[in-house]
Every structure is written in C-alpha cells, then in structure tokens.
C-alpha cells in the first residue's frame, strides 16, 4: 500500500513560484515529498513545466511510477477522497443499480482499480455486450489543458493502431461531461510488477515466456512506427486466465516521424527502467524500448531493477555511467546464455543492442523451446557468438565453488604464504627480544664446521653487530615476499566468498576439529 500524500496539494501560485525558482530549499523539499505521493500534483507539475527552463531537473520527480490502487474499500486511506479525486467521482452519472458507484456513458462503474499521473482507471460493466471493461478517465482539472488532452488522445490513437495479442486493445475513445476517457479490455489478472513484488525472481520458463510475449508486443508497436518509451513491469498486465502478458499505457508513446520525439532536453519515462539516451534527454528510437525490455528481464531474473539508488538523480546517473550487478551473482540459477541476452539489451550504446524487438522475440522463442525440450531443441547458434562477446566484455570473478578449485600449484602457493610469514615473524621476534650482547643460539647447518678445543666444541663468537645483520636479512626477505605477493592480491580477493555466500553456506569443519 502506498503512503498518502503529505501536505496540501500544489496551488497555482505555488506552481508559479516553483517555475520561477522562488521557493526556499526547505519548501522545495516539502513539495518534492508531496509530489512523490500525489499523482494529481505530479500531472499538474508536468504540464506546468513543459516549457519551463527547469524541466530537466523536475521531470525525474514527475516520472516516479504510480502504484496501483487496492480494492475500493481501501481507497479512502490513500487520499482518494481528496478534492481532485472527488471531482472524478462527481462526474459519475446516476445508476439504478445500488451495487454500482455510478455511470459513465452507457457503462456502469463498479469501482476504482488504478490511478496514474493523468487519470483514474475504473472497472465498469458494458451491459450492451455483457462484459466488464476498464475505463481510463482524464482528471477533470487536467481536461482543461490542451497539452493533457492531446497526450491523452495520443495514447488512444497509439494503442488503437496496434493489433496484437500482447498489446491491451482499446475499444473506444469518448468524452463524458467534457472529460475524455478510454475504454479498454478488462483483465482479471495483475501486473508483472505485483508478481515480482510477491514472488521475487521468477522461474526460468516464466521469465522467457513473459519476455517473449512483451517483445512481440513491442515488435507490433514498432511495426506501426511507435516507440513506447515507458516499458516497465507495472505496464505489463498479466491475464490471470491464460498467463498472457499484455503491454499497456501508451501515454508516452509517440510516432517516430513525430517531431517531438527528436526533441532533446526532455526526460520522459520511469527512471529505473529508462534507457541511457532517455536519461540524457537525447533523441531516442525503438532501441530505447529494447533497453527497457532488458531492464524488465533483469528484474524478473533478480527480483529488483538493474539500477537502484536513494534518489531519482542517482538512478539516472547509474543508468548513464555504470553497469548493473551481474545477474548470476544474485541468482546463479540463471543460465549464462540468458545473462548474455540481457547484457546485450542493456548495452549503453544503441548500436550494440539487438536491432529489433522481432529479433529478440525470435531468439527468446528458440530459447523457450530449448528449456522445455532440451534434447530435441538445442540452443540457437547465434547464442554462441553472443556468449563470446559477453565474456569478452566482462572479467568474470570466480564463484565460491570455482575459488575452491584453484589450480593445485597456485593453491599450494597461497597456503604457503601464511606459513612463510609466520616463520619470518618468529625470527624477528627472537631478534627484537634478545638482550644486548646476547648471542643467539643457532643450530649448525649440515656440513659446516665449528672451532673446537680440547674441551670439546665451542659456540661461535659473535659480535654485537650480528643481530643487525640478521635483521637486515629478514627485512630483505619480507620485501621479497611482499614483491611476490603483489601479483596474487586479486586472486586472494576473488577466492573469498561473497557476503551472500557466507550467509547461506555453512563453513565445513573436519571431524574432530573445534568449530
């Protein structure tokens, strides 16, 4: 459950002060905290900032993903009864059915099932066709904005142009009391985001199947010249009856030939799943959706997005500058070939990613056949080159098992290091603790003679300078050892188990040894 917004909603005066950078740091922090939980104010702020100089700075705050609402009886706890949402409910027409909230056109409204930055999603019943539908209605105060109405209409036009089993279909676009709304198919399932949140990493077959279906939906959109621009788990619906993934929410989609898609300096999309070119506000094309698809696959493999930070700007910086933690470090059950596919999708350079979503879909289809029937369906040959390229880009660290099987000669050297150091330290201790003038007693090496008298063998005479000579010899040995160890520092480091391994794998103790 999401937390209710803190503080009052933004007024027009406050928006103007924000646009002209007239807010104090404390007030700005308060506004950002409120906007992080209030979708209404996020949408208002987005529209107000469309032509402002501070668009690049405030857009990431606006693009934090809205979370789905729970059932209707919990909506009051989330602030759904605030004036902005009350205005939506007041638009509902009367109904003769006491079990319904109201009516939108010919549709009987059952309840609210979701919300976004620009509107509310209702579950409704179409009595004409005897089926449930979903109705996404623009917030009334945003309906007065030409930019908001244009974007809302674009979503309907974009999604309606794509006919595919893995794109949520739109049945109609209409207006009710001056407010536009979309009527779409109603799914009885959930979202991929909720599935990951509840289950963590998914099973291999499910990862490939859902990734394949999402890639097919993207391929259909790209074939119509559309770039989705906001591919993320919460925009992938799961049909609970047949476990079919359906891509939805084309609110940010634009046609490739639309001049606005090449406009720089504007950040649109959800930070944790956007591409580096989106994070930089640079021109994008369909390959940006492929990067986001790679982020979705990563989340299904590990249970978390590939780029995480405490702030939105921190996430954007990581997307631009760093590589995510290797999938197999988090989930070693993921095969190397799937890891390689995700790595190519997450390439910072657009040219290094797959060429099309259709290519990704075809590859995942062959991989799914291999997972289901490995003996009759080998992995596609194209994966071999992909694995080699992935291995060349990374310098893999040995796992805990691999580290335990180092080459015998190297392992003997590593084991001998503490022994040699102990012997040298013991010699140093003896020299440092001897009294002035005291001669250390040493065993004569084999074959070396000592002075003898008639009374028998005598100890060799030693001058006071001999301890210093011994110390110089030991110091030289230490330096030699340090020099030889330099080349093995990285090997010693990689031989250590990771924190997750030390937590899950108990230390093996030989029989009779004290733990």
Q: Which single residue is written with the structure tokens 């590990």?
A: 302
Alpha carbons 103 and 166: distance in angstroms, whole number: 29
Dihedral over Cα of 18, 23, 26, 27: its sign:
negative
C-beta separation of 184 from 136 below 8 A: yes
Single out the catalytic residue among 13, 39, 96, 230. Answer: 230
- Which residues, 6+ apart, have CB-to-CB distance to 312 below 8 Å? 60, 61, 63, 64, 271
Alpha carbons 507 and 515: distance in angstroms, whole number: 9
Alpha carbons 90 and 299: distance in angstroms, whole number: 39
Q: DSSP of 450-492, one letter per residue?
A: --EETTEE-PPP--TTHHHHHHHHHHHHHHHHHHHHGGGHHHH
Long-range contacts of 447-453 (CB under 8 A, 24+ apart): none
Q: Max CA-CA distance within the chain?
A: 130
Q: DSSP of 288-301, one letter per residue?
A: HHHHHHHHHHHHHH
C-beta separation of 81 from 88 below 8 A: no
Q: What is the CA radius of gyration of the chain?
A: 33
Instruction: Give the tokens for residue 394.
Output: 């990374």
Alpha carbons 324 and 310: distance in angstroms, whole number: 15
Active site residue 12: no
Alpha carbons 293 and 74: distance in angstroms, whole number: 32
> Which strands, in side-by-side order, build the sheet including 190-191?
190-191, 236-239, 244-247
Annotated active-site positions, please?
230
């Amino acid at each position: 459950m999401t937390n209710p917004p803190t503080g009052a909603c933004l007024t027009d005066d406050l928006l103007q002060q924000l646009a002209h950078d007239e807010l104090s740091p404390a007030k700005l922090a308060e506004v950002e905290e409120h906007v992080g939980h209030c979708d209404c104010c996020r949408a208002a702020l987005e529209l107000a900032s469309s032509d402002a100089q501070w668009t690049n700075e405030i857009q990431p705050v606006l693009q934090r993903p809205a979370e789905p609402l729970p059932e209707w009886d919990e909506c009051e706890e989330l602030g759904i009864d605030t004036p902005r949402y009350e205005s939506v409910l007041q638009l509902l027409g009367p109904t003769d059915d006491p079990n319904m909230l109201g009516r939108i056109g010919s549709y009987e409204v059952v309840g609210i099932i979701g919300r976004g930055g620009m509107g509310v999603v209702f579950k409704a019943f179409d009595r004409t066709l005897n089926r449930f539908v979903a109705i996404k209605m623009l917030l009334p105060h945003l309906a007065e904005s030409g930019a908001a109405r244009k974007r809302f209409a674009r979503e309907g036009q974009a999604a309606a142009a794509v006919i595919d089993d893995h794109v949520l279909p739109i049945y109609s676009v209409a207006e009710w009391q001056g407010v536009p709304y979309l009527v779409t198919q109603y799914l009885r399932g959930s979202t991929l985001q909720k599935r990951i949140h509840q289950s963590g990493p998914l099973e291999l077959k499910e990862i490939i199947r859902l990734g394949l279906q999402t890639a097919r939906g993207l391929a259909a959109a790209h074939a119509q010249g559309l770039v989705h621009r906001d591919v993320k788990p919460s925009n992938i619906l799961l049909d609970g009856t047949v476990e079919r993934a359906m891509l939805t929410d084309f609110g940010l989609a634009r046609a490739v030939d639309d001049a606005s898609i090449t406009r720089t300096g504007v950040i649109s999309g959800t930070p944790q799943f956007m591409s580096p070119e989106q994070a930089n506000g640079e021109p994008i094309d369909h390959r940006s959706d492929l990067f986001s698809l790679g982020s979705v696959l990563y989340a299904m493999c590990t249970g978390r997005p590939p780029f995480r930070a405490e702030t939105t700007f921190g996430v954007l910086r990581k997307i631009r500058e760093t590589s995510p933690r290797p999938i197999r470090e988090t989930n070693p059950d993921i095969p190397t070939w799937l890891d390689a596919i995700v790595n190519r999708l997450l390439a910072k350079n657009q040219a290094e990613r797959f060429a099309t979503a259709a290519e990704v879909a075809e590859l995942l289809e062959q991989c799914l056949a291999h997972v289901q029937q490995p003996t009759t369906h080998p992995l596609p040959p194209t994966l071999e080159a992909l694995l080699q390229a992935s291995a060349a880009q990374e310098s893999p660290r040995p796992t805990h098992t691999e580290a335990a099987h180092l080459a015998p000669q190297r392992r003997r050297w590593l084991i001998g290091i503490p022994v040699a150091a102990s012997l040298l330290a013991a010699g140093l201790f003896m020299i440092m603790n001897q009294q002035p003038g005291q001669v250390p007693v040493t065993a004569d090496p084999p074959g070396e003679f000592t002075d003898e008298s008639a009374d028998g063998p005598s100890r060799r005479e030693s001058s006071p300078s001999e301890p210093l000579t011994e110390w110089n010899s030991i110091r030289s040995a230490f330096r030699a050892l340090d020099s030889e160890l330099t080349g093995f520092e990285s090997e010693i480091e990689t031989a250590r188990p990771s924190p997750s391994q030390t937590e899950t794998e108990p230390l093996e103790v030989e029989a009779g040894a004290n733990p």
